[in-house]
Amino acid sequence: MVGVGTAADFMEVFLQACEAIFQAGDLVRLSELGERRIKKAPSKTGRVMGAGKASKLTIRVLFDGMKCPVSLHRSYLELDTSQLRDEIRRAKPLG
């Protein structure tokens, strides 16, 4: 049969399609992998400052309470939808 694969094949394709594309200003937090690898992080949330210089897979993030951004592999980050929801609630309605 054409197009039939294992569940692992499906998940790999699905995860590749869902990889977050971060833009400057996005609210992010450490992913589960990021939390396991960076145990002494001063903060788990921050804002994307832009792309890293070393690799296309590197993201510059200014974590809450820090003065300088750090470069992290994008697998260490995920969009922080909880902070985004709070910002939307605080925003003034249009009109």
Q: Would residue 37 count as lying in a domain?
A: yes
pLDDT digits (tens, 9 = 90+) for 9-57: 666 655 554 555 788 999 999 999 999 999 888 899 999 999 888 777 8
Q: Would residue 27 count as lying in a domain?
A: yes
Place 5 in a pLDDT band, splitting at 50, 70 and 90: low
Please report the sign of the dihedral spanned by the C-alpha atoms of residue 65, residue 68, residue 49, residue 59: negative
Sheet holding 27-30, edge to edge: 70-73, 58-63, 45-51, 27-30, 77-79
Domains in the chain, number: 1
Q: Which amino acid is at 53?
A: K
Q: Would residue 17 count as lying in a domain?
A: no
Q: Would residue 46 count as lying in a domain?
A: yes
Q: Would residue 12 count as lying in a domain?
A: no
Summarize the confidence of residues 66-80 as an average pLDDT. 91
CATH number of the structural domain spanning residue 42? 2.30.30.30
pLDDT digits (tens, 9 = 90+) for 22-33: 889 999 999 999
Full domain range(s) for residue 84: 23-90
